[in-house]
Amino acid sequence: MAKIKGAVVVDTERCKGCNLCVVACPTNVLALATQVNSKGYNYSYMEQENACVGCSTCAFVCPDACITVYKVKLDK
Amino acid sequence: MSQTNSSINEIIKPENLVYKKPSVLNDNPMHYCPGCSHGVVHKLLAEIIGEMDIQEDVIGIAPVGCAVFAYKYLDIDFQQAAHGRAPALATAIKRLMPEKYVFTYQGDGDLAAIGTSETIHACNRGENIVIIYINNGIYGMTGGQMAPTTIEGMKSSTCPFGRDISLNGYPLNITDLLVRLEGTRYVTRQSVHTSAAVRKTKKAIQKAFVYSMEGKGTSIVEIVSTCNSGWKMTPEGANDWMVENMFPVYSIGDLKDI
Amino acid sequence: MSEEIELMKGNEAIAQAAIRCGCDGYFGYPITPQSEILETLMAEQPWKTTGMVVMQVESEIAAINMVYGGAGCGKKVMTSSSSPGISLKQEGISYIAGAELPCLVVNVMRGGPGLGTIQPSQSDYFQAVKGGGHGDYNMIVLAPASVQEMADFTVLGFDLAFNYLNPVMILADGVIGQMMEKIVLPPFSPRKTAEEIKKLYPWATYGKSKDRKPNVISSLEIDSVEMEQRNLKFQRKFQLMEENEIRYEEFETTDAEYILVAFGSTARICQKSVEIAREQGIKLGLIRPITLWPFPTPILYQYTSKVKHFFSIEMNAGQMVEDIRLAVNGKAKVDFYGRLGGIVPSPIEVVEFVKSKIA
């Protein structure tokens, strides 16, 4: 059965750390970093990389369009 | 930066791309507060304009209010209107250039308070324009004052003890009013707090743009939104508060589609 | 083409001239004494011939903002109203000046303040020439004194507006708007095509073409350093207008010992006053400012070398008289005579006033 794997890239400079992507993610991939960007925001990042299914939910709700989403079907 | 493992690098390749910032939305960082609904709606507009390939044929009208700088983020021709007058500008632009897509982007203060007259008359004439109406029940730009749409009991800096109907009157549900006008063709109320809601709002705006070229009247897409700064909540807390308190007053869904 | 002489009202002349000069859009709201402009346009139905858009809209505020929208697209657009309606338009005019857009605004003045009277007046002089709306801006103000000039200044007003990218006002009064005279209308010139607009007005919002950045029409600039620069640019533009656009007319001034200064319908009355005074042996002359802004300041100043007494005759409580005093800069005496509330002065009473002051 094909397994779907995803990954997101957060534009950390654009991110304002609003946390909406973190709470929206159905597989709890994202978290806010303890580090901050140049504006002082704790940006979002993939904390649980392997859990991402590339569903784009985070990107849809992101108000600042900082999330790029990738997805592959892996045959196993 | 966190270390990206090799399997992730295998996924992050152009051929696997499923979502990215639309190109019509430029790289200028938006001035909106973290978590503001405006950003999502801007992004949707950019996606729709890009997907419909109408960048050369669309003119936007920015309001006075938080979205006054909308023109800094969307790479399309824009006019910035006096407070509340966006539908008047849009009327003239569409009448003078009927072959263009013309939309206004307005907040509740702009559309439902100072611009009530322009809103109602543009809709009543059935101007073939799109009105994007962000209703977050508060004046965000000026620091959280009461809006015409502030719901009963909701606190703001000019109703610090909550909106009191005997003092401030009722919240104005202008979209319900616009449904009654012969000139409106499509009136819908949406939100952008979940990915499903975002998808629905995108479909609604897309439909409004298509309708605006069919000469059958005005399309209004109200987006019940949050202003977490003005409401003094976290972004996710504001979403929850909106669902619990705003949706019962401003019910989500199509109100008119003919 | 043979010139055809027609008989019509001043208001009708504005409407006819607008259609003929390739105006793209008129947006208005009825108010006495200028409603014939909108009525004539609606009766002519120019959308069937030239393609001009004509709309009666919900308010003067909507109308001026429609003008803003149309002008922002590089279109030749106008509105008209009378005093109370012009007050409502001031915010929009300020925005149009701030966004550097061309347009024509017609004010057929009636008596104020408030709802005032529907009778003619010139009491909006200050509002027209000193700003009206908020912020540091000026606009060229043309004061017609005949039905012919109502038509001519419609054409001229648009030309000036597009030359300077600034609003232009025709400041007429109820007399000029309502009276009928014979006139020759301007020749037909076509509306500009979309392609011509793209070429001539590259700043306009007609849809972002691939080869350029988005065009933005806005009067907003949060950065005060930038906003000061923008204002200084406006001021240079206004200075150019002052240098190049002063218009005036002289009547019997070569040997004049006394000079009347009057504009619009009052200037026509004063022309008669000059004739009556001269019959009585008084060497009276008349200067009629055609542009109230820029005011013919240097012209009046030049006259102070030989004329030591000026009279400002107005249908208001004394507004232009201030500009005359500034112009003569203490080198001549300036007296004011005016009638208020819609009363039009007679030539005789002007002469009697002059005589009372020079006796």
Q: Which residues of C113-135 are buried (b: 16+ CB within 10 A; e: fewer)?
A: eeebbbbbbbbbbebbbebbbee
Q: What is the mean pLDDT of residues C308-316?
A: 97
Phi–psi pair at C302, nearest 5 degrees: -60, -40
Quick check: B92 pLDDT over 90?
Answer: yes
Q: Two tokens at C111?
A: 């008596």
CA atoms within 13 A on the CB side of A17: 13
Query: Residue B8 is nearest to which of A7, A13, A65, comparing CB atoms?
Result: A7
Q: What is the mean pLDDT of residues B1-30?
A: 86
CA atoms within 13 A on the CB side of C336: 15
Whether residue A60 lies within 8 A of chain B, CB to CB, comes out as yes
Q: Two tokens at C310?
A: 């000026």
In DSSP terms, C8 is beta-bridged to C181
pLDDT digits (tens, 9 = 90+) for A6-29: 999 999 999 999 999 999 999 999
Chains that touch B (3 or more CB pairs under 8 A): A, C
Asked if B37's CB is within 8 angstroms of A9's CB, the reply is no
Size of interface A-B (CB pairs under 8 A): 104
Nearest one of B119, B82, B108 to B172, comparing CA atoms: B108
Chain A CB contacts of B22 below 8 Å: 65
Query: Residue A61 is nearest to which of B22, B34, B194, comparing CB atoms?
Result: B194
Query: Residue C65 is nearest to which of B77, B81, B96, comparing CB atoms?
Result: B81
What number of residues does chain C have? 359
Asked if A66's CB is within 8 angstroms of B12's CB, the reply is no
Q: What is the mean pLDDT of residues B4-10?
A: 75
Chain B CB contacts of A59 below 8 Å: 19
In this prediction, residue A76 carries a pLDDT of 59
Cα separation values, B157 from B151, B162, B255, C302, Å: 14, 9, 32, 60
* Cβ burial, residue C107 (10 Å; 0-12/13-18/19+): buried
Confidence of residue A74 (pLDDT cuts 50, 70, 90): confident
Q: What is the mean pLDDT of residues B214-223?
A: 98
Please give the distance of CA B38 from its chain centroid, rounded to a whole number: 7
Whether residue C342 lies within 8 A of chain B, CB to CB, comes out as no
What number of residues does chain A have? 76
How far apart CA B128 and CA B94 sit, in angstroms, is 7
Please give the distance of CA C19 from its chain centroid, rounded to a whole number: 19
ipTM of model over 0.90: yes
Searching chain B, which residue's CA lies closest to the CA of residue A68?
B20
Cα separation values, B244 from B94, B239, B248, B249, C47, Å: 38, 9, 7, 10, 51
Other Cβ atoms closer than 10 A to C221: 14
Pairing of strands B138-139, B130-135: unpaired
Searching chain B, which residue's CA lies closest to the CA of residue C73?
B93
Nearest one of C125, C141, C82, C132 to C107, comparing CA atoms: C82
Whether residue A5 lies within 8 A of chain B, CB to CB, comes out as yes
How far apart CA C67 and CA B171 sit, in angstroms, is 32
Quick check: B157 pLDDT over 60?
Answer: yes
Asked if C69's CB is within 8 angstroms of B75's CB, the reply is no
Q: What is the mean pLDDT of residues C228-232?
A: 98
Q: What are the structural domains, with CATH classification, of chain C?
A: 5-194 (3.40.50.970), 249-358 (3.40.50.920)
Confidence of residue C4 (pLDDT cuts 50, 70, 90): confident
How far apart CA A19 and CA C281 sit, in angstroms, is 90
Asked if B88's CB is within 8 angstroms of C69's CB, the reply is yes
Question: Quick check: do B and A touch, 3+ CB pairs under 8 A?
Answer: yes
Asked if C194's CB is within 8 angstroms of B118's CB, the reply is no
* Cβ burial, residue A73 (10 Å; 0-12/13-18/19+): exposed
Annotate chain B with DSSP letters as a single string: -PPPPHHHHHH-SGGGEEE---TTB-SSPP-SPTT-HHHHHHHHHHHHHHHTT-GGGEEEEE-SSGGGGGGGTB-SEEEEPSTT-HHHHHHHHHHH-TTSEEEEEEEHHIIIIITHHHHHHHHHHT-S-EEEEEE-SEETTTTSEE-TTPPBT--BTTBTT-B-HHHH-----HHHHHHTSTTEEEEEEEE-SSHHHHHHHHHHHHHHHHHTTTTS-EEEEEEE---HHHHTS-HHHHHHHIIIIITTTS--EEEEE-
Asked if A71's CB is within 8 angstroms of B35's CB, the reply is no
Asked if B117's CB is within 8 angstroms of C61's CB, the reply is yes
Asked if B2's CB is within 8 angstroms of A46's CB, the reply is yes
Within chain A, residue ranges assigned H as helices are: 20-24, 57-61
Nearest one of B232, B135, B233, B242 to B178, comparing CA atoms: B135
Distance from CA of A63 to the nearest CA of B (A): 4
Place of tokens 């347009």: C103
Q: Which CATH code is given to the segment(s) A2-75? A: 3.30.70.20
pTM for the whole thing?
Answer: 0.96
pLDDT digits (tens, 9 = 90+) for C103-151: 999 999 999 999 999 999 999 999 999 979 999 999 999 999 999 999 9
Q: Two tokens at B201?
A: 């709002």
Asked if B91's CB is within 8 angstroms of C66's CB, the reply is yes
Distance from CA of B183 to the nearest CA of C (A): 15
**Considering chain B, what is the average pLDDT of its residues?**
96
Distance from CA of C335 to the nearest CA of B (A): 42
In CATH terms, the superfamily for domain B30-257 is Thiamin diphosphate (ThDP)-binding fold, Pyr/PP domains (3.40.50.970)
Q: Two tokens at A60?
A: 């849809």
Binding-face residues of B in 44-83 toward C, CB within 8 A? 55-59, 61-62, 68, 71, 74-82
Quick check: C40 pLDDT over 80?
Answer: yes
In this prediction, residue A2 carries a pLDDT of 72
Asked if B93's CB is within 8 angstroms of C72's CB, the reply is yes
Quick check: A1 pLDDT over 80?
Answer: no
**Residue of A37, A55, A64, A68 best to disrupt the B interface, most CBs of B under 10 A:** A64
Whether residue A66 lies within 8 A of chain B, CB to CB, comes out as yes
Binding-face residues of B in 110-169 toward C, CB within 8 A? 117-118, 121
Enumerate the domain spans of chain A: 2-75
Asked if B19's CB is within 8 angstroms of A65's CB, the reply is no
Asked if C207's CB is within 8 angstroms of B89's CB, the reply is no
Chain A CB contacts of B21 below 8 Å: 11, 65-66, 68
